Structure 1
Amino acid sequence: MSVRSRWLIISVGLGILLNPLNSSMIAVAIARLQAVYQLDFTAVSWIIFSFYIASAIAQPVMGKASDLFGRRNIFLAGLIVAFIASMLAPLSPSFGWLIVFRIVQSIGTSMMVAVGMAIVRIHVTEKQASALSILSIFLSGAAAIGPFIGGVLLHWWDWPAIFLINIPFTAAGFLFAWRNIPKDEPAASVARNMSIRSWLQLIDVFGILLFTVGLIALLIAVLSAKSSGHVSAGLAALGLLGLVSLAAFARHELKVKSPFIPLHTFAKYPAMTGVNIEFILVNILYYSLFFGLPSYLQTVRQVSGFHTGMLMLSLGLCSLIASPIAGRWIDKAGPRPALLAAGILMTLGSIWIMTLDQSSPVISVVLALAAFGISNGLNSVGMQAAMFNSSPKEMIGVASGVFMTSRYLGTILSSLLLGLIMGNKLSALGFQRLGAVLTVIALSLVLLNWRRKESRQLEPPPAVDK
């Protein structure tokens, strides 16, 4: 690999790591934000919801926008947007404004993720598998160390530092990207001559609006009803609006030529549909622990942010260690054994969570974290291999997009699950209830993978860790 290619990979890596880093650092700051803004856990959960909803929408949209405006331009613009959002977030006069800047930050970081892989694929022509594996280290490594970095920043400074830490990253990333990412070639005639109206149809702006309105309205209605303890007429109307909007979204997506989420593929390829349902469940399990455990440790067990970050580091390290092992195992035996083992580990970890109480040694939490970390390493490779196996070659690109959407849906649902179970106040009993729900979900994954039928592998591209 040439020196030029290495610098290009580093430049892209500095940009794409910001999305997983910012989605994971916030995990250890939830309890602190609750105290600062005097909010319950359900309300603070929107700091998680907002980031993933915005990412789920922004990444496919910006991927299509790059065809019109150029990948380098989108990447550089994303760094500028992330820089501005990170500067303004600590100045938020209210939690509502913090959510706004969090959404802007999500959009900026998503702009880089959406085009970063494509930039490397286009401009690094030798040893592409090695290049993509390096990018996967930026992605998975940032997610793994995010809680630890967040814990250190929270311990020595305060929650604003979790946003301010992005400033040197974005500034350095912009300088590297400006110098090392080649300028885009002139856009293809289709993109160059496309009107704004045609581009809005291409990204399916109406579908995006229906999806966003439906999801947010339904989440607000459900969480508000749980928080208040009763369902008012206004909340019922809001919930109905959400359901109607999502139903209209599904109907719309089945009709348009360029859907935001190609729902017709689910009906056409049931095996691929099954994989995406499993991936949603996997992410519900993983992120319920990822976001729920730090708040439980700090609020219920009075563990400091620094030590919480240290404990959460074991989750990421176990995942990083398990991923390459999973790759070799899956190459020999296919994804089914690895996914079955992951399901069993998550079941054992969930059962262990049910046994934790306020007298349990804090170090015992590491056992649950290790089980979920190893299973995440197995799932990150195994689920991608299963997705490629179940998807026809001619629609690998579409399948990959749907697969990422499933990840975000699982993450959003994990936050909803935490809000419903924890309610207004975190408690040891609430965390045990979470363990019981996660046990049921994990057992369903074990059953699904036990019944899985392996299919011939369709020569997938290298798996990229999530």
Structure 2
Amino acid sequence: MTLLHRASSRPATAAAAEGYDTRLTLPLALGSLLNPINSSMIAVALVPIGIAFGAPAAQTVWLVTALYLVTAVAQPVVGRVVDLVGPRRPYLVGTALVGVAGLLGAFAPTLGLLVLARALLGLGTCAAYPAAMSLVRRATDRSGEGRGTAAVLTVLAVTNQVVMIVGPTLGGLLVGLGGWRTLFLVNVPLAVACLVLGGLRLPRVPGTTDLTVADGAARPSVAARLDVAGVALFAAALTSLMLVLVGATPWWVLAVTVVTGAGFARHELRTAHPFIDLRLLAGNRPLLLTYARALLTATATYAFMFGYVQWLEQGRGLGEAAAGLLMLPTSVVAVTVASATGRRAPVRAALLVGAASLLVGAAVLAVVQPGSPTWVLVVAGVGIGGMQGLSGLANQKALAQQADSASVGAAAGLLRTFMYVGALVSTAAIAALYADGPTTTGLHDLALAMIGCAVAAGVLTLADRSLRRRPAAPTSPPAPTSGENPR
């Protein structure tokens, strides 16, 4: 029998007891944008960083890969910590680490230290999103209808999904104004703002994962509930897989993935306190479909963000600032669509229209030429922006409905893991298709892969029957009132 979980017993404030506390929106949104903005800004800086250090593209790509590797592995781990100890401490520690990493990157004298700074950024940005999803789910469980949660999910979607598109534009402007080191230095004021707002507004609440134990039995420690062995096996399997995906190791390393992956599954099915409850996950088909859609849309998004921007700079001959500005229509469309549809659009309809929008944008990229009119490039960007504004928020809303309330932090972290696996798949595809540089032929092949992602995402949406019905009322046990003894 798998673990039984209970929600935490008391809300942090009177406002929170009635539903979602809107004072949390600013720190949660600001903290959540740290990851996507650092993921995307670097796209326009790879070429100038390579020139500065005399490094080829095969080395500068580690600035992208390092952040993805660390984030993909650490995200569900940090999400689990949020479930265990509550959202406040992981949020504050993570954002402090972002500030340290920003300073290290701003003054790094070597490419190696710059890669280390990117890895630390990946680790530091892992806490804010699961912390936000944990607080949103708490509000939903308390109020029944989750008053205010649709609005905050819309804000999170804008800051998490759309910022990935805004990033290249902002990055191009920052590089043009102060050089590529400003992309790291900008993290310092952002981290300070998160620390101040988080310290003032985030509630001091316990974790939501509370194991059921017999009367008089000792409650397992946080370390025991974290399942260190499971985390280690998960990290080994995922890291070896990602190193294979980016072509950094021989293909025999895939055997390490198979062995450690099998060991992870065996351990998780046998341990009393699993890091990821595979039985519950396997039985939650809608959540698995949401993860698969997130992987597909992330693969297409990052293929566009990195592959398309490189083609603009070298295939079309644009500078970093001009390439960033050409991404602006994508940003505007994504923000507009997410803001206009976030609160009311049904999840299924949003996912289907998002897949269709990706299909249109990718189809345009499949025929674009270096001399194509600017408006053709804008049409492609508008299609990708529509997908970003619709699909990102819809998958996020689906997860909020489908995940178990006691482990929503880990579930949200795992969603990010699937997204960054998609990012690394796109990185591997770009490396293979751009073997001779970012040519137009390579861009066309990349666009065909994006079309495949759009079709697959649409099929998975149609296959998810849970999206056809209205979300049920929360199934988590009600929070015990004062004086009750939770068991």
TM-score by shorter chain over 0.5 = yes
Q: Contact (CA 8 Å) 1:155, 1:304: kept in 2 or not?
A: no
In the TM superposition, what whole-angstrom CA distance separates every residue of 1:326-350 from its partner, at most 9, and x where no partner exists? 446634xx61x43333222222222
In the TM superposition, what whole-angstrom CA distance separates every residue of 1:49-90 from its partner, at most 9, and x where no partner exists? 322332233333333434665543332222221111100113
Task: Indicate whether 1:365 and 2:388 are aligned.
Answer: no
Aligned residue in 2 for 1:215: 238
CA distance in structure 2 between the partners assigned to 1:66 and 1:450 by the alignment: 33
Aligned residue in 1 for 2:446: 434
CA distance in structure 1 between the partners assigned to 2:34 and 2:58 by the alignment: 25
Q: 1:443 to 1:455 in 2, by over 3 A?
A: closer
In the TM superposition, what whole-angstrom CA distance separates every residue of 1:323-379 from its partner, at most 9, and x where no partner exists? 244446634xx61x4333322222222221121222223442221111111022221
CA distance in structure 2 between the partners assigned to 1:189 and 1:436 by the alignment: 47
Aligned residue in 1 for 2:122: 106
Q: Contact (CA 8 Å) 2:365, 2:444: kept in 1 or not?
A: yes
1:10-89 matches, cutoff 5 A: 10-66=26-82, 71-89=87-105
CA distance in structure 2 between the partners assigned to 1:84 and 1:74 by the alignment: 16
Aligned residue in 2 for 1:275: 290
The counterpart of 1:377, out of the listed 382, 389, 392, is 389
CA distance in structure 1 between the partners assigned to 2:406 and 2:230 by the alignment: 24
Q: 1:254 to 1:46 in 2, by over 3 A?
A: farther
Q: 1:247 to 1:312 in 2, by over 3 A?
A: farther
Greater RCO structure (CA 8 Å; 6+ sep): 2
The counterpart of 2:331, out of the listed 305, 313, 316, is 316
Task: Indicate whether 1:285 and 2:285 are aligned.
Answer: no
Aligned residue in 2 for 1:176: 197
The counterpart of 1:149, out of the listed 170, 174, 180, is 170
1:126-137 matches, cutoff 5 A: 128-129=148-149, 130-137=151-158
1:232-311 matches, cutoff 5 A: 235-311=250-326
Q: Which is further off, 248-257 or 365-374?
A: 248-257
Considering fraction of residues, name the structure with more helix.
Answer: 1
Give, as a single letter, the amino acid of the residue that structure 2 aligns with 1:164. L
Aligned residue in 1 for 2:421: 409
Q: 1:300 to 1:15 in 2, by over 3 A?
A: same
Give the SS at the match of 2:423.
helix
CA distance in structure 1 between the partners assigned to 2:342 and 2:200 by the alignment: 34
Q: Contact (CA 8 Å) 1:217, 1:239: kept in 2 or not?
A: yes
CA distance in structure 2 between the partners assigned to 1:20 and 1:53 by the alignment: 14
Q: CA deviation at 1:122?
A: 6.5
Q: Contact (CA 8 Å) 1:207, 1:252: kept in 2 or not?
A: yes
Task: Indicate whether 1:206 and 2:205 are aligned.
Answer: no
Aligned residue in 2 for 1:231: none
Give, as a single letter, the amino acid of the residue that structure 1 aligns with 2:300. L
Give, as a single letter, the amino acid of the residue that structure 1 aligns with 2:240. A
Q: Contact (CA 8 Å) 1:347, 1:438: kept in 2 or not?
A: yes
Aligned residue in 2 for 1:228: none
Q: CA deviation at 1:40?
A: 4.4
In the TM superposition, what whole-angstrom CA distance separates every residue of 1:123-151 from its partner, at most 9, and x where no partner exists? 99995334554455444454343222111
Aligned residue in 2 for 1:230: none
Q: CA deviation at 1:161?
A: 0.5
Q: CA deviation at 1:44?
A: 3.0
Aligned residue in 2 for 1:422: 434
Q: Contact (CA 8 Å) 1:86, 1:101: kept in 2 or not?
A: yes
Q: Contact (CA 8 Å) 1:86, 1:163: kept in 2 or not?
A: yes
Q: Which is further off, 59-68 or 315-324?
A: 59-68
Unpaired runs of at least 5, structure 1: 226-233, 462-466
Q: CA deviation at 1:185?
A: 7.0
CA distance in structure 1 between the partners assigned to 2:58 and 2:133 by the alignment: 35
CA distance in structure 2 between the partners assigned to 1:388 and 1:185 by the alignment: 20
CA distance in structure 1 between the partners assigned to 2:440 and 2:262 by the alignment: 38
CA distance in structure 1 between the partners assigned to 2:448 and 2:43 by the alignment: 21
CA distance in structure 1 between the partners assigned to 2:366 and 2:209 by the alignment: 57
CA distance in structure 1 between the partners assigned to 2:209 and 2:361 by the alignment: 51
Q: 1:365 to 1:38 in 2, by over 3 A?
A: farther
Q: CA deviation at 1:398?
A: 6.5
Give, as a single letter, the amino acid of the residue that structure 1 aligns with 2:471. L
Give the SS at the match of 2:39.
helix
CA distance in structure 1 between the partners assigned to 2:254 and 2:148 by the alignment: 47
CA distance in structure 2 between the partners assigned to 1:116 and 1:452 by the alignment: 26
Q: 1:31 to 1:262 in 2, by over 3 A?
A: farther
Give, as a single letter, the amino acid of the residue that structure 2 aligns with 1:26. I
The counterpart of 2:183, out of the listed 162, 166, 183, is 162
TM-score (norm. length: structure 1): 0.81
CA distance in structure 1 between the partners assigned to 2:404 and 2:122 by the alignment: 32
Give, as a single letter, the amino acid of the residue that structure 2 aligns with 1:300. G
Q: Contact (CA 8 Å) 1:351, 1:436: kept in 2 or not?
A: yes
CA distance in structure 2 between the partners assigned to 1:410 and 1:428 by the alignment: 23
RMSD: 3.8
Q: CA deviation at 1:160?
A: 0.9
CA distance in structure 2 between the partners assigned to 1:10 and 1:46 by the alignment: 32
Give the SS at the match of 1:163.
helix
In the TM superposition, what whole-angstrom CA distance separates every residue of 1:266-287 from its partner, at most 9, and x where no partner exists? 5323344333223211221122
In the TM superposition, what whole-angstrom CA distance separates every residue of 1:142-174 from its partner, at most 9, and x where no partner exists? 434322211111111211110001112222332
In the TM superposition, what whole-angstrom CA distance separates every residue of 1:285-344 from its partner, at most 9, and x where no partner exists? 12211222112211222211111111222222211222244446634xx61x43333222
Give, as a single letter, the amino acid of the residue that structure 2 aligns with 1:28. V
In the TM superposition, what whole-angstrom CA distance separates every residue of 1:25-44 from its partner, at most 9, and x where no partner exists? 12222232333344444443
Q: 1:420 to 1:317 in 2, by over 3 A?
A: same
Q: Contact (CA 8 Å) 2:161, 2:392: kept in 1 or not?
A: no
Give the SS at the match of 2:380.
helix
